[in-house]
Amino acid sequence: MTVSNPRIFCIGRNYVKHIEELENEVPGRPVIFMKPYSSLLPQGNKIVIPSHGAELHHEAELVLKIGKAGRAKTDIGALAMIEAYTLGIDLTLRDVQKQLKEKGLPWEIAKSFPGSAPIGEFVTYRNGTTDLGDLKFSLNVNGVNRQNGDTALMLFPVAGIIIYLSGIWELQEGDLIYTGTPAGVAQLKSGDRVELTGDGVGPFSWDVE
């Protein structure tokens, strides 16, 4: 059955150019962190800059919604578990994250605060018709382009992510997966307007308070 409060799995360091811009190491397997349900921020709500940090960065991502519970062992099985997809933003307090990383501490307060996961409206996934391995998307701030993503450039593709995650957690209906961000992450400021759009999905927009 569909869980009322889905888990939100997030994949870090999934695009080489983003890894390079933050001077991180290229991972040998998916980097996973999680956000609580309270992080979701649908269109119509404002992005609020948290008081415990100063540098709020946007990270545009393809987001998957799981519609079939279970564990996947093959690409075909993994894709069959997807119900829908959309675009979202992994909001990150970069200054807070940097301080935590330097001390070897967890990232939760930099990544998992309320409203840290803006999310667009879902589009039904049709296997064989929609190619999630070649989906382009972009993020603009105040009409100026900042990020351009292409899922063909992911280090860990959609099916591989689902296989890896479901090998650790049995995925449930309603679970969401933020699949990682391309290069171009940058700071958001009060008064900004953020817009996401992609192949067959969006546009979605949020104002920053």
Read off the pLDDT band of 128 (50, 70, 90): confident
Q: Return the CATH architecture of domain 8-204.
A: Alpha-Beta Complex (3.90)
The percentage of residues in the chain with a pLDDT greater than 70, rounded to a whole number, is: 98
Domain boundaries, the chain: 8-204
**Residue-wise pLDDT tens digits, 152-201:** 999 999 999 999 999 999 999 999 999 999 999 999 999 999 999 999 99
Is residue 149 scored above 90 in pLDDT? yes
Is residue 2 scored above 70 in pLDDT? no
C-alpha span between 155 and 53 (Å, rounded): 30
Compute the chain's Rg from CA coordinates: 16
